Structure 1
Amino acid sequence: MQLSPSYLQIAATAGTLIMALLTIFIRLKASKRPVTVKKIIMPPVGMTTGFFMFIVPAVRIPWLWGIAAFAVGWLLFSYPLIRSTKFEVTEGQVFAQRSRSFIVVLLGLLAVRMLLHEFIEQYVSVPQTGALFFLLAYGMILRWRLFMWKHYQTILKGSAPVK
């Protein structure tokens, strides 16, 4: 038995919404605990396992598409996350500041992603669409987390004020 593409689309949309809400919830809880290098680098490291999806032939996309998707995530989608991420030092420990703008940014990125998903899916298969959006998200998260790591290191060295 094979599921129709419309059921896959509904499941993917529901899954995306659930993941977005979980991300917001986890981010709000994380702001109560100090930031560490491990907490900064583990999301992109864990996400790297997603590259195994390209073993499946139906998921494969042309290299140029993959590079473009990664670049859009790196250059465009990461920027609002970088701008809305701020650290504060409390009692000698570094914390991520709670930010309403961060939640707005996440919800805005989700809305843009959903609109792009509908458009792109008209031209490529559902698995290939998933691959493109994985690469976009990976580029976005990798740049954001590299920024966080660099800023965290600067704060630890005490050479820059917390923004």
Structure 2
Amino acid sequence: MDWMVAASSVAAVLMGIGALFVRMRAAKRPASAKKIIMPPLFMSTGSLMFLFPEFRVTWLELLEAAAVGMVFSLLLMKTSKFEVRDNDIYLKRSKAFPIILMSLLVIRIIGKLVLSTAIDVGELGGMFFILAFAMIVPWRIAMYRQYIKLKRQTPINAIHAPQIKTPLS
């Protein structure tokens, strides 16, 4: 079972590094409501793991994991801001985001190593899914609200309207 904890920790590190690259690439392209909403929807399919008894958690474990995830999401919310550039809304690069993301990853790995001695690996997987989901959902809701607010404040809507060419233009 220890190899499973180690393997999942390595996978978490690789996914964290992947998330950093995705975030850096995303800052180069305009944001959209779809790009903000889709990740939690795709991640929600992971809840199918709870169909299997080995992944099920107690109500207390669910509450603990969700509470930790929501606390972690506050840090991500602080580093996710949007800006208007070239008549589009972009995710603003934050120098603190990679540090915070990696710090949260290290905290999660340490937590997993400590908890793996007392909690079954399947339940632990369920708890860490809940933690991650409880972290991404509030963060993305905050991003979506910020995006919509900025979109309403700027005349961007007119820019994205189809340009009609006339014979004189």
Q: TM-score, normalised by structure 1?
A: 0.91
Equivalent residue for 1:21, pick from 17, 24, 38: 17
Which residues in structure 2 correspond to 1:10-159 (within 5 Å)?
10-74=6-70, 76-158=71-153
* 1:7 aligned residue: 3
Structure 1 stretches of 4+ moved >4 Å: none
8 Å CA contact 2:27–2:90 kept in 1: the answer is yes
How many residues are paired up?
Answer: 154
Task: Quote the residue 2:164 is aligned against.
Answer: none
The unaligned stretches of length 5 or more in structure 1 are none
Q: Flag the structure with larger Rg.
A: 2
TM-score w.r.t. the length of structure 2 is 0.88
Report the AA paired with residue 3 of structure 2.
Answer: Y
Q: Offset at 1:64?
A: 2.5
Percent identical among aligned pairs is: 35
Once the 2 structures are TM-superposed, how far is the Cα of residue 109 of structure 1 from its aligned partner?
0.4
Unaligned runs of 5+ in 2: 155-169
Distance 2:113 2:150 in 1: 41
Is the Cα–Cα contact under 8 Å of residues 5 and 116 in structure 2 kept in the other structure? no
Letter in 2 for 1:91: D
